[in-house]
Amino acid sequence: MRLSVQPICFQVLADRYAAPGESLAAQVYARVAHALAQAEPLDKRAEISRLFRRNLENGAIGAGRIMANAGTAAHATMVNCFVQPVGGGRSGLSFADGIAEACKTLAMGGGVGYDFSPLPPAAADADASSAAPAVCQAIDRYEEACANLRSAGSRRGAQMAVLSCSHPDILEFAGAKRGRRRWRTFNVSVAVTDAFLDAVERDDAWALEHAARPGAAAIAAGAVRSESGLWRYRVESARAIWDEICRQALHSSEPGLLYIDTIKRTNNLRALESIRATNPCGEQPLPEYGCCVLGPIDLSRLVRHPFGVAAPPEIDLARLGGMVRTQVRMLDNVIDLTRWPLPAQEQEARAKRRIGVGVTGLADMLAMMRLRYDSESGRACAQAVARCIRDHAYAASAALAAERGPFPLYRAQDYLAAGAIGDTLPQEARQAIAEHGLRNSHLVSYAPTGSVSLAFADNCSNGIEPAYGWSYRRRLRVGGESPVEMTAENHAWRLWKRLHPGQSAPPGYFLGAADIAPEDHVAMLAALQPYVDASISKTVPVPGDWPVERVQALFMRGWRAGLKGLTIFRPDPGLEAVMSPAPDATAPGGSPAQDCRICG
């Protein structure tokens, strides 16, 4: 059923994605489809352009940088997110060169994640660590560089700072955002290891170590060379460190956690690369100079007989599978067509050809199926969709490998050996991989989709998040001017009202984010993660009066459930909200506005 275009959706499309002369989504689709078909042989371009355009019109869209930049003359990239080395660390870059590389990527529209763990602690010997400042001071420098880019007119950058739980400056890092407006372009995450979490559970001591030589004060305080060859700056209670990390997360909604050993253990290319960080929103763990090419599919478009008005609702999985296969081809083409900020990024991308088929509108889909987001049946439905996406994505990548060749670093044992991802795939897909290999090393990634969902999906629920609410006011910055407030209505709610005229209250399966227990948010993540070879970006809202012990238990639950990362959000009345209830709205859910500046 076609609904009228909401003014806020039209405004976001015009401001963020429409090229000169465009005003309609159909025009954007035509431009993007034509541009991305240019990677095809000449005699196939018209046919593939029509295929891509039809897929876009049906809800298989590109992430923000694709929709904004494909087929334009802008000096910008179509790749959303990157991880890069920090200068002055193990990479061999100078600190200044590391910032310069970051600025090149940010200026072209990419977001960047970094592992700051190689940088020296604040207590390191000043002479020995002169190649780079200490961690928090280094992040200040990156923040300043990004802010200067923004003031020069570039799209506002997004960055991720990651620090190991073994770094001597971990407590300063974890509390850096508390009570002040520091690192506004950064999300921050602590990379926690299995060993650290085991030590927390056993109430063991935890060593904070680094390769940098300690200064005189640190040596006087007891810093010594450890058996590993690192300098042991001090030993503290693992539970005390854990308690402080969780308190800071509860207070400031940061840091998030990266379960770094789970990330490494489940990486398809774990034998070939080392991962220590993610992109700014956390859905893509990446090696240095790695990138992700993203494209979500609007799941709300796949429900037949929504809300059971004419017949029992059902999801068209066959249609979804076909859309996924086309999406894989389109995203693979981006790698060959995009502009790259750095040669090292292009080399890394072409060697592995990572892409990320994702989703948006999951919560809307469940409501249209008359399923609660926090129910077993809702999670089972979501799992069926996730399995369909993964299986068809791998089958499509094998078919592309037969046509174009596998990615250069492809090795059969990474996918078909016992315990590899091939064990979880249907026999048909596994056989195709055995015969042809894979075109792409990774294929599935669930990112935030706030802005593209507004522009191209009638404000459906964002990514895998529950809806914020059914009707609400949203602050929108248009053309760099001061923010204005506009009304936004949730897509599923608009459709329900159209199908149920005269009824004003939503049924019980319409659940906002704050209506769902934090443990059930984590349960949805745990249900989907086995079908996502990269990771999932999602924020878990917690009540304002939650004790830190509940946060600790929730983070431990995420680790045991096999998640790759977890971030909580606690409403803070002292902070200005991006979204607020409309005066006449049915009570909204009250979740954060997870609209990644880059991924969405």
CB-based contacts of 73, cutoff 8 Å, min separation 6: none
- 81-99 burial, b if ≥16 CB within 10 A, otherwise e? bbbbbbbbbebebebeebb
* Both structure tokens of 183: 């690192």
Task: Give the per-residue pLDDT at 583.
Answer: 54
Q: What is the pLDDT of residue 450?
A: 87
Q: Strand 291-292 relative to strand 81-83: parallel, antiparallel, unpaired?
A: antiparallel
**Which residue type does 409 have?**
L
Q: What is the pLDDT of residue 574?
A: 54
Q: Which helix (H) or strand (E) holds 356?
A: strand 356-360
Cα–Cα distance measured from residue 363 to residue 365, given in angstroms and rounded to the nearest whole number: 5
Ranges in the chain, pLDDT < 50: 151-154, 584-594
Question: Which among 143, 20, 66, 27 is positioned nearest to 600, based on CA atoms?
Answer: 66
Going from the C-alpha of 441 to that of each of 287, 401, 460, 534, the distances in angstroms are: 13, 11, 30, 10
